A and B are shown apart, each in its own frame.
Chain A
């Protein structure tokens, strides 16, 4: 355990947008309780500047939380050429759905692609398992 463990990790506010991925979807077809599905689902894709702000390296785990829920997922670079600080992407699945607010304004349609959340280093914490999301 290093000195860093005692410092408060920087926390940033982000807008999360969900998307589909055929590799993750295929893994779900095989087994939604499998390692591959977790590996491809429990990921947040960030702008490199936001990774720097969080004082983490690509591949580290982060807490993503808001008033609806909290999960630990792996932080990766989005890979998009255009910078998008303040906006992060998560593939649609139970991990992102843990963060979707229940406030629909009575429309019956949750905001799956417009989620406010804060992100902070999980300091080596383990990715939330699918059965631990509840």
Chain B
């Protein structure tokens, strides 16, 4: 489904909510005011204070020279890594996949150490999901598990999941919705869910708490090794059982706590045998889910692939293992800052190999790169499509003109130069 926008509204690329109700004020060719977006969205759309410069080996140069050098590095590498993609349009992602195919590269995105397993399970039909619009219109029991949208996706609760009055939820959060927070700490979201709706569990015990909920939903005594109050678990299972349209928003707290998704599958199966439940991953970067969809369409896998005579897939082709094992000999980073977002002990290897960064802004990774190519800021200086956290495709429009090429154009020219 493509969401068509009226002429006056724009899409925010601050996170994977892709809020499509943004109004802006321009002065000449500059964007001076952003309305409706959250704090993070405003900061994203206004652009950074430290734009990236076009450079090769630290010396300023023109885009053509930088693109040629990037193509030379990728051609000379035996096993290049192409990583990032979460902050790129779907069109740019497809070009990155084409480059990976042509150069026999390792291709991975940030979902590799984020929501990848959940999105893969959704695309394989193993987890029942729904759209945020359905949540707004129908959801009566909303579970935030290891997720803190008040901090990570500030408009999540106000636009979709809790506060709005949807078609079947005309009495709003006060009467028509119950919000539950399951977390290791009393987050800002937990404050909204209140003491009755908040379940604080010890770190790493999410799988056991899921098992306890399955027991409670099966009318068995819900036991936990950490002695969680059984009465409270049964109160929760009663709420879950009565849900007409339930949804679990799975955050990174949940993802990182599980060794595999089996406990989550078991809980979702049980929930759907007694009531009706859906799951949506709390995707961070605006088009990380798009990257999963695009790589899945091309290869049958959502991430962690290596191109060659055949497409190889597995944890050994993940960005983390590839860098740890020093299996790659050059890297192209697009719209991502692995030196900030990966463990330093893993990311440090990037500084030992030829490194190319494409980004609108200076990053730690760009500061260590041999080639830096500035690109247009997606959703502001370039358009395209992206996939929201719930799988809905959203069209982004260009708002202002820029001299900088879009990441799609840069990748197209690198592909041509290879």
Chain A residues within 8 Å of B, Cβ to Cβ: 15, 17, 19-23, 25-27, 29-34, 68-69, 78, 80-82, 84, 87, 89, 92-94, 97-98, 100-102, 104, 106-114, 130-131, 133-134
Contacts and interface: CB of A to CB of B under 8 A. Distances in A.
B105 to A, nearest CB: 17
B256 A114 contact: yes
Interface in B167-220: 184-187, 200, 203-204
B337 interface: yes
User: What size tier do the contact residues of chain B reach?
Assistant: 35 or more
18 contacts: A17-B184, A22-B40, A25-B152, A29-B40, A32-B50, A32-B340, A33-B50, A97-B340, A97-B347, A101-B345, A102-B343, A106-B316, A108-B316, A108-B321, A110-B320, A110-B342, A113-B252, A131-B367
Nearest to B338: A97
A104 B49 contact: no
A127 B356 CA distance: 30
Given A29-B44, A82-B200, A106-B315, A23 B341 contact: no
Contacts of A134: 339, 344, 348, 351
Nearest to A15: B203
B340 A19 contact: no
A85 to B, nearest CB: 13
A87 B38 CA distance: 30
Given A22-B152, A94-B339, A104 B320 contact: yes
A8 B113 CA distance: 39
For the complex of A and B, 10 pairs with smallest distance between CB atoms: A108-B318, A29-B43, A100-B343, A102-B345, A108-B315, A26-B43, A20-B152, A31-B49, A98-B344, A26-B39
A104 B318 CA distance: 11
A114 B203 CA distance: 8
Given A22-B152, A81-B186, A87-B203, A32 B337 contact: yes
A110 B112 contact: no
Given A26-B43, A84-B185, A102 B346 contact: yes
B344 A17 contact: no
Contacts of B150: 22
B345 A68 contact: yes
A18 to B, nearest CB: 9
A31 B341 CA distance: 15
Contact of B315 (A101, A107, A130): A107
B364 interface: yes
A129 to B, nearest CB: 12
B60 interface: no
A113 B203 contact: yes
A32 B185 contact: no
B151 A19 contact: yes
B185 to A, nearest CB: 6
A87 B205 CA distance: 15
B304 A108 contact: yes
Interface string B284-323: 0000000000000000000010000000000110111100
Contacts of B256: 109, 111-114
B176 to A, nearest CB: 27
Given A17-B203, A108-B320, A134-B348, A32 B363 contact: yes
Q: Counting chain B CB atoms within 10 Å of each CB, which of A29, A32, A104, A107 scores highest?
A: A29
Contact of A31 (B50, B148, B344): B50
B315 to A, nearest CB: 4
A82 B184 CA distance: 11
B263 interface: no
Nearest to A34: B49
Q: Counting chain B CB atoms within 10 Å of each CB, which of A19, A69, A92, A133 scores highest?
A: A19
B253 interface: yes
A134 B349 CA distance: 11
Contacts of B361: 31-32
Contacts of A31: 48-50, 361
Contacts of A98: 343-344
A30 B48 contact: yes
Contacts of B304: 108
A111 B259 CA distance: 11
Contact of A100 (B203, B316, B345): B345
A20 B184 contact: no
B344 A94 contact: yes
Contacts of A29: 14, 40, 43-44, 48
B404 interface: no
Nearest to B259: A107
B344 A133 contact: yes
A68 B40 contact: no
B273 interface: no
